[in-house]
Structure 1
Amino acid sequence: MRRTKASLPFWLPIWLFAGVIGAGALTLSTRASLNGVDISWVDALFTATSAVCVTGLGVVDTGTHFTRFGQSAILLLIQLGGLGIMTYTSLAVYLMGRRVTLTDRIAVGQSLLHDPSFHLGRFLLRVVIGALAVEGVGALLLHLADPEGFPPFHALFHAVSAFCNAGFGLRPDSLIAWRGDWGVSLTIMLLITLGGLGFYVINDLASMVKKVFVLRRKDLRRRSHLLTWHSRLVLETSLMLSLGGGLLIFGAEMLGGERHGSWYETLLASLFQSVTCRTAGFNTLDLTRMTNISLVLMLLLMFIGGSPGSCAGGVKTTTFRAWIGFILAQVKGRSQTRVGWYALSPASLNRALTLLIFSSLLVLGGALLLTVTEGGDVPYFRAQGQFLENLFEATSAFGTVGLSLGITPRLTTGGKLVIIMLMFVGRLGPIWLLTALQSWQTDIRYRVPENDLPLG
């Protein structure tokens, strides 16, 4: 039977994500989900998209607008979106004893590992069981840190939301009440970090720990290569961005911002913001009271995001390292772009640069559309700072972060649709969507003459 282009492997996650979003919107529109209030179809669709795309932007307050059933539905949507619809469907087929199709192998392999050659069943079992275990431990730690602030359901909700990098909370002020609480802050930061590393890296770390206990102490040379090149790059880059971003935000807030408590509370909150703005969406500081320097730094961190194959969005840490390597190679006049142990292949470098251009155009285009829908006819002297708010909102949606400067509940219908589109593309990944669109194109079997164009 001939396969249609719409059923190609790269299109399956798109249809599945869209289907789950639609089902989620219908569920959140029912009376059982609403706490004695009404919700428009666009707002229900926005909330469902934000949950499945693990973004966290909300046009209504999750803690008061929805019943426990509605909150549980959002929690389920977050879990499905965080681990990936393809992961669950392929795992269900595997557990039923049926043979998993090559299409599912390719789709799951590309989304989780960027490597289609792996044992699907064992890996998916490890992913799901490991994720549930981490979320369970995280919920327990939150409950122990503050039993009153995090009763069992609240602790589980926030643990799943943090690990899946969703940023949904049950309080209107997110986690500001726990700004100086080291137990709660460190637990949420750890969950966000684990969820943003990627399943491949977590699996590699687990294997490394196992090997360390097996290897003899005198065998030190082999220990330096216990992690793969990919895992080392992800861990190094994530640590650099989290610590570097936190220290820069701390400096900006201490020098020019309002005081957010004592210096060590500000330091903890700055580190928290650095971690969470790489696609989690929780906040322990009032963003509207932060300096412009901090907001610009957060914009950059949101755009970069987490790592490939993780719950996080953004252009990914490995792409960022490829850009840095490319810039250094150009400055030094080298023909190869070296990143760590190896030089990047032309194909990898081309994908990295394509991702930079395509993602930048999406974010800027989204910010411009928001400028049009959210009062583009207003004179500048009456709308000062609006473009920064729109750019922050667009970057947050594309990076599936969920942080906002307060404009999300005030968005017009057009603005909500723009954010829905950005969240959807950001969760799937612009390269994935571009590849899916290219799969519909017919291969050109000819080449046109080439020529040089004066540049610069």
Structure 2
Amino acid sequence: MRTKLLTPFWLPVHFFTLGILLGTVLLHADAAHPGQTLSWLDSLFTATSAMCVTGLIVVDTGSFFSPYGQGVILALIQLGGLGIMTYTSLALYLLGQHVSLADRLAVSNSLLHDPSFSLKSFLMRVVIGTFAIELVGTALLYFSHPGGFSLWSAFFHSISAFCNAGFSLYSDSLTRWQGDWGICSIFMALIILGGLGFYVLNELATRIADAARLRPPRNGSCYFFTWHTSVVLKTTAFLIVAGTLAIYFAEMYGSGWSGPWHKELLKALFNSVTSRTAGFNTMEMADLTNVSLVLILMLMLIGGSPGSCAGGVKTTTFRAIWGFIVAQFKGAEQARVGRFALDLHSMRRALTLAVFAAFIVGFSSLALEITEGGDLPHHMVRGHFLDTLFEVVSAFGTVGLSTGITDSLSAPGKGVIIMLMFVGRLGPIWLLSALHSWQRPTRYKVPEDSLPLG
């Protein structure tokens, strides 16, 4: 049992758990909020939200916590954004320790899906690249609006944006800059970069360097980007544009946005970007139409890309399932995604992830409905289900957006959200793989037969 609990698949579970517990103790201390009281449950909720880069809050981060408490939250965000396994593997290398093949495969599967990469050089580039992007974001925010962002505030928000955490030091999040294209563009750039995935960022940097030197791609291919990067970039661009247009028209013809078109377009664009796991908002979610909330629900569930700071089922899963649906309509044997067809193993993983996500969201919504008004008749809680579903998907997708019910949740309700944030950050497939690592391989097969379906 002890050996099975120390397998590479279980290490992220242990480290995230230890990080959350340590953060809970530090945030519960009086130094984190002098003169105010934070219960153990709310401390655990805040630590989990920070470590899992979600952004759901039960108290206002900027006014409730001291600089020490904000520093603890920021440290948890940074650790959760990069991933505890990344830090651990890098530390082992720096200390001259040996990293086993199993560990290399586990890390590569979570970051690159390529077992042949150089772990040491890649992790160094991840850490250095992350810090460089966050420092550039800090400088841009500070010098773009020094009156609105102090150096500490710019640093905090830059890390929170790149790690797709959504924690803000302002009680209204970013609503004061809802019409400022400059500030919103900086945040959107950080959010998108943090949600692309470390492998994609690494390849982008390499390709830009090659293009500047007029070199051909180093991968020996006639294509500028690898298949994975191409799929991620195209799917991300499609989701941003489609989400922007859908939300824009839903609000224009629903709630009747009446401001200048370019400011209303910025609202829709920011909502489209932030909905896929970032959690910042430039307007209250409760002010949006139900149509927009449903669209945002879908974006939150999809999330970012593999190996990134973002949560959700991931853009590649969405693209794989879409390819599968198109193939079924065409009667094709293979599900084509871009220039290749998806292999059977990957297709099964995508469908498994989608089914697991649906079950987790469904059962969690039912649990939250029970804890937050299950004893009341429907006419007294009419419209409550959408708020509940929105909260569940936001927690599972580690987004952090809310219609305003987070701080009013009951203790059992907060427990449900805590578990969702934890599972959502690690990913149901990773947890399923961890459970599978306990099982002995089956050495026999049961006879197969057909069953009428549909």
**What TM-score do the two structures reach when normalised by structure 2?**
0.97
Could you tell me how far apart the structure 1 residues matched to 2:256 and 2:150 are? 32
Could you tell me how far apart the structure 2 residues matched to 1:423 and 1:3 are? 26
Could you tell me how far apart the structure 1 residues matched to 2:46 and 2:17 are? 13
Could you tell me how far apart the structure 2 residues matched to 1:180 and 1:195 are? 23
CA apart distance, 1:3: 7.0
| Corresponding position of 1:351 | 349
Q: Does 1:113 align with 2:112?
A: yes
Could you tell me how far apart the structure 2 residues matched to 1:223 and 1:335 are? 27
| Corresponding position of 1:48 | 47
| Corresponding position of 1:434 | 432
CA apart distance, 1:345: 0.7
CA apart distance, 1:358: 0.4
Q: Does 1:160 align with 2:169?
A: no
Could you tell me how far apart the structure 2 residues matched to 1:264 and 1:312 are? 28
CA apart distance, 1:258: 4.4
Could you tell me how far apart the structure 1 residues matched to 2:259 and 2:152 are? 30
| Corresponding position of 2:363 | 365
- Tell me which of 281, 284, 297 is aligned to 2:282: 284
Could you tell me how far apart the structure 1 residues matched to 2:255 and 2:428 are? 35
- Tell me which of 268, 271, 296 is aligned to 2:269: 271
CA apart distance, 1:260: 6.5
Q: For residue 256 of structure 1, give the secondary structure of its aligned residue in structure 2.
A: coil
Q: Does 1:19 align with 2:1?
A: no
- Contact 1:260–1:285 (CA<8 Å) still a contact in 2? no
CA deviations on 1:213-254 (whole Å, 9 max, x unpaired) are 33369x9xx896121000000000000001110111011111
| Corresponding position of 2:420 | 422
Please tell me the root mean square deviation across aligned C-alpha atoms, in Å.
Answer: 1.5
| Corresponding position of 1:197 | 196
Could you tell me how far apart the structure 2 residues matched to 1:430 and 1:136 are? 32
Q: Which moved more, 1:386-395 or 1:432-441?
A: 432-441
| Corresponding position of 1:455 | 453
Q: Does 1:311 align with 2:309?
A: yes
Q: For residue 259 of structure 1, give the secondary structure of its aligned residue in structure 2.
A: coil
CA deviations on 1:51-72 (whole Å, 9 max, x unpaired) are 0000000111111111000000
Q: For residue 24 of structure 2, give the secondary structure of its aligned residue in structure 1.
A: helix
| Corresponding position of 1:411 | 409
| Corresponding position of 1:10 | 9
Q: For residue 334 of structure 1, give the secondary structure of its aligned residue in structure 2.
A: coil
Could you tell me how far apart the structure 2 residues matched to 1:422 and 1:255 are? 34
Could you tell me how far apart the structure 1 residues matched to 2:2 and 2:362 are? 36
| Corresponding position of 2:75 | 76
Q: Which moved more, 1:190-199 or 1:261-270?
A: 261-270
Could you tell me how far apart the structure 1 residues matched to 2:215 and 2:442 are? 57
Could you tell me how far apart the structure 2 residues matched to 1:66 and 1:127 are? 30
Identity %: 58
CA apart distance, 1:445: 1.9
CA apart distance, 1:311: 0.3
- Contact 1:10–1:432 (CA<8 Å) still a contact in 2? yes
CA apart distance, 1:379: 1.1
CA apart distance, 1:135: 0.4
| Corresponding position of 1:239 | 237
Q: For residue 249 of structure 2, give the secondary structure of its aligned residue in structure 1.
A: helix
Gaps of 5+ in 1: none
Q: CA distance change for structure 1 residues 452 and 216 in 2, over 3 Å: closer, same or farther?
A: closer
Could you tell me how far apart the structure 2 residues matched to 1:216 and 1:150 are? 40
- Contact 1:86–1:107 (CA<8 Å) still a contact in 2? no
Could you tell me how far apart the structure 2 residues matched to 1:216 and 1:111 are? 30
